Amino acid sequence: MTPATPEPALRKTLTEETFFLNLGPQHPSTHGVLRLLLRLDGERIVTCQPVLGYSHRGHEHMAQNRTYLQFMPNPPRMDYLAGLMYNHAYCLAVERACGLEVPPRAIHIRLICAELNRISSHLLWFGAYLMDLGAFTPFLYAFDDREDILAILGEATGSRLTYSYCRFGGVARDINQAFIDGVRAFIPKMRARLKDYDTLVTKNIIFVNRTKGVGVISRERAKAHALTGPCLRASGTAFDIRKAEPYGFYPQFDFDIPVLTGGDCFDRYMIRLLEIEQSLRIVEQALNRLPAGPVKAEGVPQFITPPSGQYHFSYETARGHLGIFLVSDGSRVPYRMKWRVPSLSNLSILPVLLPGTLVADTIAILGSIDVVMPEIDR
Amino acid sequence: MNLLLRYIGEVTSGAWSLAAGMAVTLRYMFKPVTTVQYPRARLPLPEAFRGPVELRRLPETGDHGCVACGECARTCPSGVIKVQGLKARASDFNRARFYFIDFSRCSLCGLCVEVCPVQALMFSREYEQNGGSPQVGVADLLARIREARP
């Protein structure tokens, strides 16, 4: 473990009294078990080195010794905050590999659930981030809204966090009237809540001063570090898998990809609130045109076997670009399954972003990137 | 002078933003409480709730319908199901003689319920299950059926 060399400009001001500080792995604002090895000069950070691997469970290896169906409960446990999206992505990847047709009703239900999951993930981030910055009240409002989503998704999926709802060729069960009523009631409530969030947080002078101009990632640097998701879009690049390589019925829906150009913590905050609005639009449209019909394709074999070959599938999760690389040798068990998770590349910006900032800003920057450690460690 | 004016402007707008935030909080103070006081009040369980798996009791016989084919045990990703069957006569259907699930390692994915060819399994609606040791999680599903029988 050799710490990266400090930037030349910093080296000049460097005194002999630098010391190491372990931020994490149990720090409440590292969101999981991230350990940041910080070299400090007083309050100022000289180098930063993330230390990973505390929650490694070997998901990729697990995939190699069980059938495709048996791996179904695993993906939601990688990113527990957007579990349904991982479940959805895994199903789509295997379906693409096998060339399975999915009934339109199932596709709509999946999109509704995935977008609701995106909102709930952003809400949890919103609450936790503001808690890191010392504001407690917004956390309670965010969790109130999130609780609504969990109740709605529980109505369809039967669980609250690690959903394994999608199946190859459809979804596990049809949605009921309580689900539809719940979503219809939730959309206007959430829109009204977003206005309150604006008053409560976005215009709050303390919040603005702590986040504006802090942790600025330029457009080039964001691209160089392969940032995706809200972090990339806050730096001025309009890239979203839902538009770039669409899956499901996304091309038929009318929604925008919000882009901001500041690249600082405030823009990364703002972009997630804007994404919640867009997700609400998608959910509303999908619900309005929900077709009737079956929710699961007929004749899907229990032991699904993609033809031998290599497959890659991209998915836009709440944190960015999720890539699933699947190698099949034509047997019931995957030969290799590699998961490209968004948080890892988003985290890779920290060693170049943090030097020169203050410890208090570290919390603001780290929180704004929104890493979920179990998906990095897998 | 210009700087002073800007400073005063910033202070005023900042103070106003804090007051506006407090007004939001104040408004919510007079709205209904959203918290449910859990042990005294409970939320209704969703229809699809996935509790620990149990054997379905057939209404006509009061017995279970498990034929001990072992499909659930083979499908289970965690390998927590043990089921063994017995035939009274060679021409009879197989009947489950014992059925154990170790819920301490079960992730409630529900694949066992889905693959069952005779729909003998279902999700229970229990959710307050904790214990002091891993052995507490091992459930004898047939014993539950026997207890429930008159």
Q: Which residue of B has its CA nearest to A179?
A: B46
Beta bridge partners of A44: A41, A358
CA distance A92 to A79: 17
HEC string of chain A equals: CCCCCCCHHHHHHCCCCEEEEEECCCCHHHCCCCEEEEEEECCEEEEEEEECCCCCCCHHHHHCCCCCCCCCCCHHHHCHHHHHHHHHHHHHHHHHHHCCCCCHHHHHHHHHHHHHHHHHHHHHHHHHHHHHCCCCHHHHHHHHHHHHHHHHHHHHHCCCCCCCCEECCEECCCCCHHHHHHHHHHHHHHHHHHHHHHHHHHCCHHHHHHHCCCCCCCHHHHHHCCCCCHHHHCCCCCCCHHHHCCCCCHHHCCCCCCCCCCCCHHHHHHHHHHHHHHHHHHHHHHHHCCCCCCCECCCCCCCCCCCCEEEEEEEECCCCEEEEEEEECCCCCCCEEEEECHHHHHHCCHHHHCCCCEHHHHHHHHHHHCCCHHHHHC
Nearest to A200 among B14, B21, B110 (CB): B21
Q: Please name the residues between 67 and 86 in chain B that touch chain A, using a CB distance below 8 Å.
A: 75-77
User: Is B107 at the interface with chain A, CB within 8 A?
Assistant: yes
Spatial CA neighbour of B85 closest among B74, B93, B97: B97
The β-bridge relationship of strands A336-340 and B53-55 is: unpaired
Beta bridge partners of B138: B102
Chain A interface disruption, residue of B13, B22, B28, most A CBs within 10 A: B28
CA distance A307 to A303: 13
Contact B20 A206 (CB under 8 A): no
Ordered per-residue pLDDT tens for chain A, 378 residues: 455 555 555 555 555 678 888 887 777 666 778 888 888 888 888 888 888 888 888 888 988 888 888 888 888 888 888 888 999 999 999 988 888 888 888 999 999 999 999 999 999 999 888 888 888 888 888 888 898 898 888 888 888 888 888 888 888 888 888 888 989 999 998 988 888 888 888 888 888 888 888 888 888 888 888 888 898 888 888 888 888 888 878 888 888 888 888 888 889 899 999 999 999 999 999 889 888 888 888 877 778 888 888 999 999 888 889 999 999 888 888 898 899 989 888 888 888 888 888 888 888 888 888 888 888 888
Q: Which residue of A has its CA nearest to B123?
A: A158
Q: Which residues of A touch B23 (CB under 8 A)?
A: 199
Q: Which residues of B touch A201 (CB under 8 A)?
A: 21
CA distance A123 to A130: 11
CA distance A314 to A320: 10
pLDDT at A332: 86
The β-bridge relationship of strands A18-23 and A35-41 is: antiparallel
Residue B88 CB burial class (10 angstroms; 0-12, 13-18, ≥19) = exposed
Ordered per-residue pLDDT tens for chain B, 150 residues: 788 888 888 888 888 888 887 888 888 888 888 888 888 888 888 888 888 888 888 887 777 778 888 888 888 888 888 888 888 787 777 887 888 888 888 888 888 888 888 888 888 888 877 778 877 778 887 777 777 666
A253 contacts: CB under 8 Å, gap ≥ 6: A281, A282, A285, A286
Nearest to A200 among B24, B34, B123 (CB): B24
Percent helix, strand and coil across chain B, each to the nearest 5:
35, 15, 50
Query: Looking at the whole model, is its pTM more than 0.95?
Result: no
User: In Å, how far is A130's CA from the nearest CA of chain B?
Assistant: 14
pLDDT at A119: 92
Beta bridge partners of A48: A38
Q: Which residues of A touch B15 (CB under 8 A)?
A: 205
Whether A268 and A368 have beta carbons less than 8 Å apart is answered as yes
Q: Which residues of B touch A151 (CB under 8 A)?
A: 43, 46
Cα A116 to chain centroid, rounded:
13
Residue with token string 């048996």: A70
CA distances for B21 relative to A137, A188, A204, A316, angstroms: 10, 21, 7, 33
Q: Which residues of A touch B24 (CB under 8 A)?
A: 196, 199-200
Q: Which residues of B touch A154 (CB under 8 A)?
A: 46, 48-49
Spatial CA neighbour of A86 closest among A367, A322, A358, A364: A322
List own/partner pairs for A74-78 with CB under 8 A and 24 or more apart.
Answer: A74/B77, A75/A339, A76/A161, A76/A162, A76/A163, A76/A164, A77/A162, A77/A374, A78/A339, A78/A341, A78/A374, A78/A375, A78/A378
CA distance A65 to B81: 18
Residue with token string 């939730």: A186
- Report pLDDT digits (tens) over A36-62: 888 888 888 888 888 888 888 888 898
- Report pLDDT digits (tens) over A109-158: 999 999 999 999 999 999 888 888 888 888 888 888 898 898 888 888 88
Residue with token string 């699933």: A324
First to last CA, chain A: 22
Contact B77 A147 (CB under 8 A): no
